[in-house]
Amino acid sequence: MPHLQCSEEISREEIIELAHDAASGEIEIRIAPAFVDERTRERLREAFRRGDFATWGYDDDRAARAADPGSVLDDARSVICVAFPYATNAPARSRFQGRVSNYAWSSDYHRRISCTLREIARRIDERAGAPVTAVACDTKPIAERAFAARAGLGWIGKHTNLISSRLGSYVFLGEIVTTLELKPDVPLRKSCGACRRCVDACPTGALRGDYTIDAGRCIADLTQRTDSVPRELRPLMGEWVWGCDLCQEVCPPTQRAGVRGRSEDAAMNASAAAPDLLRLLRLRAGEYRRTFASTAMGWRGAAVLRRNAAIALGNTLDRAIVPTLLEALETDPHPMVRAHVAWALGHIGSPAAREGLQRHFVREREQSVLEEIALALQVSTAPKA
Ligand code: B12
């Protein structure tokens, strides 16, 4: 059915009230027009030109589609922008437990938020007497932060996330794009001023300090890529196995906002927020599906998590883990995982690790793994600075 423009007027106040009624938890809502100004368009183009999102394989016209809600709904006139807070308390972590970003601790947010957005949209359509909406959350090409900032939901911080004055930056963004012409809100006139805490906290130097990011260096990106993690960045990833919150943990307005997520957003169990790295290193497809299919970690496959566990275990520098890593080097079916396990062993660099690497070298058939073993042996025998 074609989307119609509503003949009867619906006020923004009515939409906001209806949205609050439809949502189960705390939310913030503001309205943006369905276009962005030339300066924002230029920011988007610049980001693509610099190659900030090179690892995402976005095609050339992604910048244009990012600025155009018409890519979500024909004849779009307004974007109803919604922020959903999700910060919950971190469970305690002990030895050999990895770190997962707060956004991935509970069930997959795409589903929960899309469900709420669809319910709001359904009520708007009902009120309008015609289909006038389409929803977006994360997976559509529109630049969600740019529209949320235009709507005045918050400002884009130096960590490049949208910061709400009240809710901080631990908020998911979602949109209801509509053909209704709604009165837009005004953008906030705020910035991070002289604060550089996030920039200084980022171990990989992904944040440039000018409100832009080199996404290919961001730990969140590194944990999600499906190929090899650049060697020089591995030691900087600490124990993160999915996403990273370092830049937001130190963000003053985010700290002030505190824990705002719903109890349903809390970690389903301690292992969701701080998974056992040994178990993760041995994760196979069946257990992966059972444990992660319903979470935001459920789309890159088990081998990516085993690779991340190998890096995290290497970064513990704990020699007690060497036998487990050697077992993975012998038995893991995926060359990418074996290559990162070899790196981890070289990084730990104990005599047992070197001996195991040498032993495996003569059995390994995969060139990429042989190269990693050779490098690991070089690194582990080189005198430590
Ligand atoms: C690709 C992607 C990533 C990539 C790249 C991130 C990045 N900073 O661009 C990676 C994997 C690194 C990533 C990481 C994370 N992501 Co992400 N990600 C996306 C995704 C799917 C697409 C982003 C995109 O198209 N970028 C292309 C650029 C060109 O567009 P843009 O995003 O709007 O950014 C530009 C404009 O906002 C512009 N801009 C426009 N107007 C203005 C005005 C001013 C004054 C300024 C300074 C800038 C500015 O600045 C940017 C260009 O440099 C979005 C969902 C979506 N569809 O938007 C989620 C999204 C941005 N991610 C989100 C989240 C939660 C995260 C993580 C926190 C998850 C985690 N903990 O691991 C981290 C945060 C890391 C970080 N410091 O940014 C949320 C952000 C929520 C928020 N509060 O802002 C989004 C919106 C998903 C959602 N629906 O909630 N993500």
Determine the pLDDT at residue 7: 40
| pLDDT > 60? residue 218 | yes
Confidence of residue 3 (pLDDT cuts 50, 70, 90): very low
241-278: per-residue pLDDT in tens?
999 999 999 999 999 999 988 887 777 677 788 999 99
Specify the amino acid at residue 244.
C
97-115: per-residue pLDDT in tens?
999 999 999 888 888 899 9
What are the residues whose beta carbons fall under 8 Å from the beta carbon of 252, sequence distance 6 or more?
195, 197
Nearest CA to ligand 1 atom 18: 138
**Mean pLDDT calculated for residue range 145-165:** 98
Q: Looking at 37, 74, 138, 318, which residue is catalytic?
A: 138
| pLDDT > 60? residue 91 | yes
10-39: per-residue pLDDT in tens?
898 999 999 999 998 899 999 999 999 999
Please give the DSSP secondary-structure letter assigned to residue 2: -
The boundaries of the domain holding residue 287 are: 276-385
**Contact in structure between 18 and 90 (CB atoms under 8 Å):** no
Instruction: State yes or no: is 138 an active-site residue.
Output: yes
**Mean pLDDT calculated for residue range 278-297:** 92
Residues 83, 104: Cα–Cα separation, whole Å? 17
- Say which residue, 118 or 49, is predicted with more confidence: 118
Please indicate, yes or no, whether residues 87 and 168 belong to a single structural domain of this protein. yes
The finding on whether 144 has its CB within 6 A of some atom of ligand 1 is yes
Please indicate, yes or no, whether residues 360 and 247 belong to a single structural domain of this protein. no
Chain centroid to Cα 278, Å, comes to 23
Per 3-state DSSP, the chain is made up of helix, strand and coil in percentages (nearest 5) of: 50, 10, 40
Please indicate, yes or no, whether residues 285 and 178 belong to a single structural domain of this protein. no
| pLDDT > 80? residue 156 | yes
Please indicate, yes or no, whether residues 254 and 378 belong to a single structural domain of this protein. no
The finding on whether 138 has its CB within 6 A of some atom of ligand 1 is yes
CATH at residue 312: 1.25.10.10
CA nearest to 20, candidates 5, 34, 30, 10: 30
Please indicate, yes or no, whether residues 33 and 50 belong to a single structural domain of this protein. yes
314-335: per-residue pLDDT in tens?
999 999 999 999 999 999 999 9
Please indicate, yes or no, whether residues 12 and 95 belong to a single structural domain of this protein. yes
Please indicate, yes or no, whether residues 14 and 135 belong to a single structural domain of this protein. yes
Nearest CA to ligand 1 atom 11: 221
Domain count, the chain: 2
* Domain stop point among 230, 249, 269: 269
CA dihedral 70, 73, 79, 80 (to 10 degrees): -170
Count of helix runs (H) and strand runs (E) in the chain: 17, 8
Enter the pTM of the model.
0.95
Please indicate, yes or no, whether residues 262 and 331 belong to a single structural domain of this protein. no
SS3 of 217, please?
Answer: helix
Please indicate, yes or no, whether residues 159 and 102 belong to a single structural domain of this protein. yes
**Contact in structure between 82 and 27 (CB atoms under 8 Å):** yes
Please indicate, yes or no, whether residues 170 and 247 belong to a single structural domain of this protein. yes
Please indicate, yes or no, whether residues 293 and 177 belong to a single structural domain of this protein. no
Please indicate, yes or no, whether residues 64 and 165 belong to a single structural domain of this protein. yes
Determine the pLDDT at residue 382: 67
Describe the crossing of helices 367-381 and 335-348 by its angle, rounded to 10 degrees.
10
* Domain stop point among 269, 297, 331: 269
| pLDDT > 90? residue 2 | no
Rounded to 5 degrees, what are φ and ψ at 213?
A: -135, 145
The finding on whether 173 has its CB within 6 A of some atom of ligand 1 is yes
| pLDDT > 60? residue 340 | yes
CA of 161 to the centre of ligand 1 (A): 6
CA of 21 to the centre of ligand 1 (A): 28
* Domain stop point among 244, 269, 294: 269
Q: Could you count the other beta carbons within 10 Å of the beta carbon of residue 227?
A: 9
Confidence of residue 77 (pLDDT cuts 50, 70, 90): very high
- What's the mean pLDDT when you consider all of the chain? 93
Determine the pLDDT at residue 260: 87
| pLDDT > 60? residue 8 | no
